[in-house]
Amino acid sequence: MQAQGKGVGSAAGNVLKLAAAAAVAGVLTAAIALPAVGGAGMTAKSGIDALHIGPEKLDEPPLPEKTTLLDSDGKPIAQFYYENRESVTLDKIAPIMREAIVAIEDFRFYKHGPLDIEGTTRAMVKNFTTGGVTQGGSSITQQYVKQVLYNKAETDEEKAAAVAPTVGRKLNEIRYAIAIEQKYSKDEILNRYLNIAYFGASAYGVEAASKRFFGKHASQLTLSEAATLAGAVQDPNATDPNRGKSFRDRLIARRNVVLDRMAELDIITKQEAAEAKAKKLGYKDKPIPGGCEESEFPYFCLYVRNEILHDTQFGKTQKAREQFLARGGLTIRTTLDRKMQKAAEKAIRKYVHPSDKPVASEALVEPGTGAIKAMAASRKFGTNRKKNEMSINVVADSLHGGGTGFQAGSTMKVFTLVTALKEGMKFGDGFSVGGTFAANAYSDFKNCKGQNVGEPSAVLHNAEGGGGFKSLQTGTWGSVNTFFLTLERKVGLCDVVKTAKDLGIKRSDGQPLHEVQTFTLGANELDPVTLASAYAALGARGKFCAPMAITEIVDRFGKATSFKPKCKQVLEPEIADATSNILEGVFTRGTMTGVGGIGRDAAGKTGTGDVSRTVWFAGYTPDLAGAVSLGDPRGPVRYPLSGRVIGGRQYGSVFGASIPGPIWKETFLAALKGVPATDFVKPDMSRFGGCTQSCAPKPKKEHRPGHGDDDGHDRGRGPGDGPIDIYTPDGSPFGD
C-alpha cells in the first residue's frame, strides 16, 4: 500500500468536523436514552459538556530519544535513554512495515478523515452498553493523539487520565485528531505513529523495535518481521517476547492474524501469507543500549554523565538536566582516546588484579587543553560484591560520581617546589635538615585566614631517617619530608595552598582544602583526574586547563554546540620550565631511578602515604599527563597496603615507585607510541642556576646517581617519600 493521502484543508476540515459532530451526536443521543451503566456513571449533561467538536491544537513535545556518547574518533561508547527510541523518517521504514501496520490497525486510514466514523460509532455504542471499553475503533490518527497525551503525562494520575475509558477523553481525542489531520499529511501522521508506538521488550518506535527484535534497521524488515511488529502494538506487554515462551507464542499468533488480514485485503497473496506464517519468530533479543553500567568505559562514562547532571548550562534544575540527557536525543562527542584508554587498562591489569581489594586508578589528561584522554581502574564497575565490583567512580571526585579519594602523599610536594621557585629560590638553594621535624611554634605555619596551624607537639620524620643539606633539586629527588616541611615553612603555607589552587587542586569530597602544616606531605585526599590536570599545567608551561570531557553536543535537530578548553596562565612559563627540569631528575637521580624513564622528556613525582596506606605517581610530558593512585576504598587506615598480595605478588612495604610508577611508565610507553616527542623548554639558568645564600657545601667525594644526597636509595623510593604521621593515633586524618 503506497501512501497517497494529504493533509486536510480548511474546506475539507469543515466537512470532517460536521461529519464527526453528526456521528458523535448520534452516539450521544443513544447514550442519553440509556441509564448509567457499570461504574462509568455517564450522564447526558457530562457527555454534552464534553462535546466541543471544533479542532483543538495538540501540544506535541519532542519524543524522548536516546543520547549517544562518542569517543574522540566518533565511535559509540555509551548510551543514555528514558525510552529506547530512535526516530526515523518514513523513507527509512520498509514499505511492507507501513502496509502491515495500516492493515491491522486502520485499513481505511488513507480514505477516512481524522476518525473512522463507522468504526468509532460501532465501538462507542458497544462500550456504552457494556459499561466500559471492550471494543476499539480508533483511527491511527486517534491512536497517535493518545500516545502523545500519554507520553507527555508526568504523573501516574495524568497517565491514567490519558487512557481513561470515558466519553470525555474520547471526545478530546477526536478534537485533537481533527487538528492533527489539518496539520499533517497522512504519511506524516503514519510516520509519527510508527515512531511513538511501543512494541514491547523496552523498544519504543519501529527503528528501536526492529533492532531489538531482529537486529536490523526498520528499512530492512521482511514480510514476516513486519507483521510481527505490527501485531505487537495492540498489546505489547502481552506479546513481549522477552518475557518467555508463552509471550512469544502469543506474538506469533498475532503475527499470523496480521498476515491473514493483509491477504484478505490483497496486500499479499494467500501463498505469501502461508510462507510467512511458516517461519519461526526469529527474535534476536539484541541487548538494549544501556547506561554507564554497560559501557566499555564506565568510569569515563560516569564522568560525562555527572558533568551534565551538575552543570546548569544543561538545565536550570536537576530534573531538567536529567531530561536533557535521557530524553534529548543528543550525540555527545567526548575526549576519550581509545588507544590511550587501552594502554592504561593494560598497564593496570599487569600490576593489580580485578579481584584485589586495593584498587589502582589512572587518569590521562592532555596538557594545554585539559582533555581527559583516559580513565581506568583495576576493579570493574558494578554492584556485584561477589565479583569485587565497585559502584563509585574512583578515578574522579565526588561531583563526578567518585568517593572521598586518597591522600596524595608526596605528589603534593611539587606545589611547594613551584612556590619556592616563584619566590626567587634557585636550584642550588636549600637547607640542612635532620631526620625529624617539629615546628618551633604554632605560628610557624599560618593558613590563608592568618590562623596559626603549626603543631610543635607533632614530630614528623623521614621514612628511613636521612638528613644533611638538601637543595631544591636533591630534596625533591629524594622526596625528603623534613626538607619540604622546612621549605613550606620558609615560603609560607598559604602561598603553597594558593599555588595548588591555581593549578586546580581541590579535595575529592568537595570540602575546603585542609590548610595544615602537613599540606606539603599530602594531607588532603585527591583523585587522579584532579592531580593529572594539575601536572598537565606544568607540561603546558604554566597554563592550567580545567578537566574537559565533552567537545561537542549535537541535538536531535542537528544543531551542534562546541565546547572549548577553559584555560588560564597561572604560572610564568619559566617557572614551569624550571619545575619540569627538577622533576626530570626524579627518573634519573631520585625515587624513580629503579623504574626508569620512557625514552623522551618526562617529569614526575612519587607519593607514598603514612605506612603505605596509599601510594601514587604523577608524571607528564609536554604531550600527556597522568596520575596513578593505589589504595583500599574500604579505608586506607584500616586496610593499608603493606604486607598485602597485590597483582599476585607479595609486598612488604609499598612505595609510589613500587606499583603506580611502573603502571604510569607502561601506560605512557603505549599511549605515546607513534606520537612525535616534544621536548621540555630548557630552564633559564641565569635565573635559576646556582644558589643565592643557602648554597650546598662542596662535596668531599664524587657521588654516583642515586647515592650521596639521595641517601643511597636507588631502589625506586626515597628516604622520605611521603607524609609520615599524618594520621592521629585514632586513625583520623591529621588536621580534621
Residue 125: per-residue pLDDT: 61
Q: Is residue 2 part of a domain?
A: no
Q: Which of 232, 260, 277 finishes a domain? A: 277
| CATH number of the domain that residue 184 is part of | 1.10.3810.10
Query: Does residue 595 carry a pLDDT above 50?
Result: yes
Quote the number of domains for the chain: 2
- Between 529 and 705, the higher pLDDT residue: 529
| pLDDT value for 18 | 39
Domain membership flag for residue 724 = no
pTM of the model: 0.76
Q: Residue 324: what pLDDT?
A: 85
Picking from 277, 298, 328, the residue at the C-terminal end of a domain is: 277
Which of 249, 277, 305 is where one domain is finished? 277
The model's confidence at residue 155, banded by pLDDT at 50, 70 and 90, is: confident
**Rounded Cα–Cα distance for residues 373 and 421 (Å):** 30
Residue 53: pLDDT above 70? Answer: no
Residue 112 — pLDDT band, cuts 50, 70, 90?
confident
Is the model's pLDDT at 382 over the cut of 50?
Answer: yes
The answer to whether residue 342 is domain-embedded is no
Q: Residue-wise over 319-331: b if at least 16 C-beta within 10 A, else e?
A: eebbebbbbbbbb
Of 8-22, 167-181, 459-473, which gets the smallest average pLDDT?
8-22
Question: Is the separation of the CB atoms in 610 and 722 below 8 Å?
Answer: yes
* Same-domain status, 265 and 413: no
**286 within a domain of the structure (yes/no):** no
Q: How far apart are CA 669 and CA 654, in angstroms?
A: 23
Average pLDDT, the chain: 85
Judge whether 393 lies within some domain: no
- DSSP letters spanning 304-365: HHHHHHT-GGG-SSHHHHHHHHHHB--EEEE---HHHHHHHHHHHHHHS-TT-SSEEEEEEE
What pLDDT is stored for residue 281 in this prediction? 96
In the block, which residue shows the cell 593558613?
447
- Is 328 contained in some domain? no
Sequence letter at residue 294: E
pLDDT band at 717; cut points 50, 70, 90: very low
Residue 521 sits in a domain whose CATH number is 3.40.710.10
Report pLDDT for 152: 82
In-domain check, residue 677:
yes
pLDDT band at 17 (very low <50, low <70, confident <90, very high): very low
Residue 363 lies inside a defined structural domain of this protein: no
The residue whose grid cell reads 622546612 is 486
Counting Cα atoms < 13 Å in the Cβ hemisphere of 725 gives 14
pLDDT bin (cut points 50, 70, 90) of residue 732 is very low
pLDDT at 725: 34
pLDDT at 150: 87
Domain that holds residue 563: 406-710
Strongest mean pLDDT among 110-124, 363-377, 679-693 = 363-377
Q: Which residue has the cell 586506607?
A: 636
pLDDT at 172: 84
Task: Provide mean pLDDT across the span 138-145.
Answer: 91
